[in-house]
Amino acid sequence: MTHLYELQGITREYGNKKVLDVPELRIEKGRIIGITGPNGSGKSTLMRILAFLEKPSSGDIFFKGKRVRDIDESLRRKATLLLQESRLLKRSVFDNVAYGLKARGKTEGLSSRVIDSLSIVGLDPSKFASRSWFELSGGESQRVALASRLILDPEVLLLDEPTASIDAGSAAIIKSAILETRERLGTTVVTVSHDLDWAYGISDEVISMFSGRMHSLGPENIIHGPWERAEEGTLLKKLDDGQVITASGFPGSSKTAVIDPEDIIISIDTPENISARNAIEGTVTRMNLENGSGRILMTIAAGGQVFYARITTLSLQKLEIIPGSAVSIIFKATAVKWI
Amino acid sequence: MGYLGEGFLTAFRILFSGQEETFSAIITTLKVSTFSILITLAVGVPLGFLLGYYSFPGKNACRMVVDTLLAIPTVVVGLLVYAFISRSGPLGSMGLLFTLKGIAVGQFILGLPVVVSLTASSTEQIENSVRMTLMTLGASPGQLAMSSLWESRYSVIAAAMTAYSRIISEVGVSMMIGGNIKWRTRTITTAIALETGKGQFAEGIALGIVLLFIAFAVSAAVSLSRRRASS
């Protein structure tokens, strides 16, 4: 099977610092891939490489099965990236949305295509098309920026933090516009986001990045140090409310650990006589239906730490958990993995 | 202070009565300064864009020379141009001395560093995110350059206004190259110098008011452009 993108041994260095190290990545056509991870994990660099805006320091990129050697605008025009700091051009909304088509010399039916694109992102063309760039709110600007990409009928739509700093209403509209475009054109979408609910809500698959590398473990439960060494070689992390996370093994240089949401069991009672070393009490703050798995991603706050656990809708109904419910988060010390 | 107040009153009378000699200087000023700024922009904006947008060996040295020329005194420009276009100078045969064209040459030399330097600065300051945005929308290298210049248009307009302010308010070039010839090369600034020398303050103040009004209009336009550029 030919993948839309195939990355082999890709690295990117700025000076002596390696910011990206991706031994292998394959992206199938028509999929929505979510990429999550903390700041500085290399997400934006990867996006610029996928958008052909930046060349990797080493490694090979195959696009539609062909090795990418030289990057020119014909290749760059196959993918479009909505930047994290999306800038509107200093011109009207209409001219912003029309820019990409004009650059390609495709001016036939331009007005109707601009109107369609603005409608897809929930902006009334009769109100917004003639507005200047400075007459828009943050959410409206982001939607105009997205419309400027959607009008291009892109094969690949790359979104770098598309919902950062915008209201929930705009985020929901952006989500439906992306899903509609994928449905209509079979567009491949790669979206970077800090917002796990957004990433899981829209993506078929979520990839986690940390320190420039991709991890098979999810990005949800990242636990930073300091850790205290305890008896029997275990390590302890004290939470703000005095509860303790117990981990085993040897921490890496980052002193950062993750817990796979799949390794967490949720209980509505305080468990007794269990083999797992960790039973943390917390409160459910959010529950979101995942697009890819069809399961519920539950967010639980405990002692200043946020935990994520994944359960089925059947379990949710059985346990009768709602946001605000007190639950216990149960996991083994060996479930705490060092990265 | 009495003569000052009287001078202002007479100045307004001169302006509202449409005294021909005064209005000749005003029209000459507007004519020559408009011609000068248009030529300056036609040459300066492309040069400034090239200097700001592209990287090439010696770019920093070029910037340093242009920035140094920003502070060149008008009389020095007048002196140099005079040396070139006077009858015994290398360009003496062109007959530019004591003509409006001669003044325009001097004003062009005066305004060019302003336009080049400020256009280069505004182009350099185009944020990387703007370039990236244009690239993600599929701009070719040529479209990228032209759109980048268009994105900095308000800063370029501000540069033009700043250069125009320098051109219209200079006295050294107009005096030395133009010769302050009544009805022909007398500009507002040379007329002010002449009238003040003769003790005719009212005429000087009348012309000063017109110059201030033009300066105010230019300054307001610069301010508006800067606000647009920063929004």
The larger pLDDT score, comparing residue A118 to residue B157, is at A118
**What was the pLDDT predicted at A217?**
60
Indicate whether A203 pLDDT > 70.
Answer: yes
Other Cβ atoms closer than 10 A to A70: 6
* Residue B185 φ then ψ, to 5°: -120, 10
Residues B181-213 have pLDDT tens digits of 999 999 999 999 998 888 888 888 888 888 888
CA distances, A12 to each of A58, A186, A197, B100 (Å): 7, 30, 29, 60
**What was the pLDDT predicted at B126?**
78
Residues B86-110 have pLDDT tens digits of 988 899 899 999 999 999 999 999 9
Q: Given the structure tokens 């041994």, which residue do they identify?
A: A9
Q: Do residue B138 and residue A82 have CB atoms under 8 angstroms apart?
A: no
Nearest-CA neighbor of A260 among A291, A223, A292?
A223
Instruction: Tell me, yes or no, if the pTM score tops 0.80.
Output: no
Provide DSSP, A228-260: EE-GGG-EEEE-TTS-EEEE-S---TT--EEE-
Q: Do residue A152 and residue B231 have CB atoms under 8 angstroms apart?
A: no
Nearest-CA neighbor of A207 among A6, A25, A1?
A25
The larger pLDDT score, comparing residue B9 to residue B116, is at B116
Interface residues of chain A, partner chain B, Cβ below 8 Å = 51, 53, 73, 76-77, 80-83, 85-87, 89-90, 99-100, 103-104, 134, 148-149, 152
pLDDT band at A218 (very low <50, low <70, confident <90, very high): low
**What was the pLDDT predicted at B32?**
96
Provide DSSP, B35-56: HHHHHHHHHHHHHHHHHHH---
Q: Do residue A90 and residue B147 have CB atoms under 8 angstroms apart?
A: no
CATH superfamily of A5-215: P-loop containing nucleotide triphosphate hydrolases (3.40.50.300)
Residue type at A113 in one-letter notation: R
* Most confident range, picked from A203-207, A265-269, B35-39: B35-39
Q: Cβ of B227 under 8 Å from any chain A Cβ?
A: no
Q: Between chain A and chain B, how many beta carbons pairs sit less than 8 Å apart?
A: 56
Q: Cβ of B223 under 8 Å from any chain A Cβ?
A: no
Over residues A195-215, mean pLDDT? 84
Chain B residues within 8 A of A161 when measuring between CB atoms: none
Sign of the alpha-carbon dihedral angle for B83, B87, B93, B96: positive
Task: Let me know if A124 is exposed, middle or buried by CB neighbors in 10 A (0-12, 13-18, 19+).
Answer: exposed
Q: Do residue B139 and residue A73 have CB atoms under 8 angstroms apart?
A: yes
Q: Cβ of B130 under 8 Å from any chain A Cβ?
A: yes
Mutating which of A74, A89, A136, A156 best tests the B interface, going by the most B Cβ atoms within 10 A? A89
Report how far residue A110's alpha carbon sits from residue A260's, in angstroms, rounded to the nearest whole number: 48
Report how far residue A259's alpha carbon sits from residue A338's, in angstroms, rounded to the nearest whole number: 9
Chain B residues within 8 A of A81 when measuring between CB atoms: 132, 136
**What was the pLDDT predicted at A219?**
61
Report how far residue B175's alpha carbon sits from residue A293's, in angstroms, rounded to the nearest whole number: 83
Computed over every residue of chain B, the mean pLDDT equals 89
Query: Which top CATH class is B2-230?
Result: mainly alpha
CA distances, A192 to each of A115, A161, A196 (Å): 27, 5, 10
Mutating which of B122, B136, B230 best tests the A interface, going by the most A Cβ atoms within 10 A? B136
Among the partner-chain residues B132, B138, B151, the one whose CB lies closest to the CB of A100 is B138
Q: Do residue B136 and residue A82 have CB atoms under 8 angstroms apart?
A: yes
- For residue B75, the distance in angstroms to the closest alpha carbon of chain A comes to 40
- ipTM higher than the 0.85 cut: no
Chain B residues within 8 A of A100 when measuring between CB atoms: 137-138
Provide DSSP, A99-123: HHHHHTT--TTHHHHHHHHHHHTT-
Angle ∠(A198,A204,A206) on CA atoms, nearest 5: 65
**What was the pLDDT predicted at A216?**
62
pLDDT band at B127 (very low <50, low <70, confident <90, very high): confident
Query: Which top CATH class is A221-338?
Result: mainly beta
Q: Do residue B129 and residue A85 have CB atoms under 8 angstroms apart?
A: yes
Residues A45-88 have pLDDT tens digits of 999 999 999 999 999 999 999 999 888 888 999 999 998 876 89
**What was the pLDDT predicted at B231?**
58
Among the partner-chain residues A73, A83, A152, the one whose CB lies closest to the CB of B133 is A83
Q: Cβ of B142 under 8 Å from any chain A Cβ?
A: no
Q: Which two tokens stand for residue A311?
A: 């359960």
Residues B134-147 have pLDDT tens digits of 999 999 999 999 99
Q: Do residue A89 and residue B231 have CB atoms under 8 angstroms apart?
A: no
DSSP-based three-state secondary structure for A63: strand
Cβ neighbours of residue B58 closer than 8 Å, sequence gap 6 or more: none
Report how far residue A139's alpha carbon sits from residue A2's, in angstroms, rounded to the nearest whole number: 37
Indicate whether A328 pLDDT > 90.
Answer: yes
The larger pLDDT score, comparing residue A292 to residue B206, is at B206
Domain chopping of chain A, boundaries: 5-215, 221-338
Sign of the alpha-carbon dihedral angle for A44, A47, A48, A54: positive
Mutating which of A75, A78, A83, A144 best tests the B interface, going by the most B Cβ atoms within 10 A? A83
The larger pLDDT score, comparing residue B122 to residue A270, is at B122
Q: Cβ of B224 under 8 Å from any chain A Cβ?
A: no
Please say whether the beta carbons of A25 and A49 come within 8 A: no
**What was the pLDDT predicted at A85?**
73
Q: Do residue B136 and residue A87 have CB atoms under 8 angstroms apart?
A: no
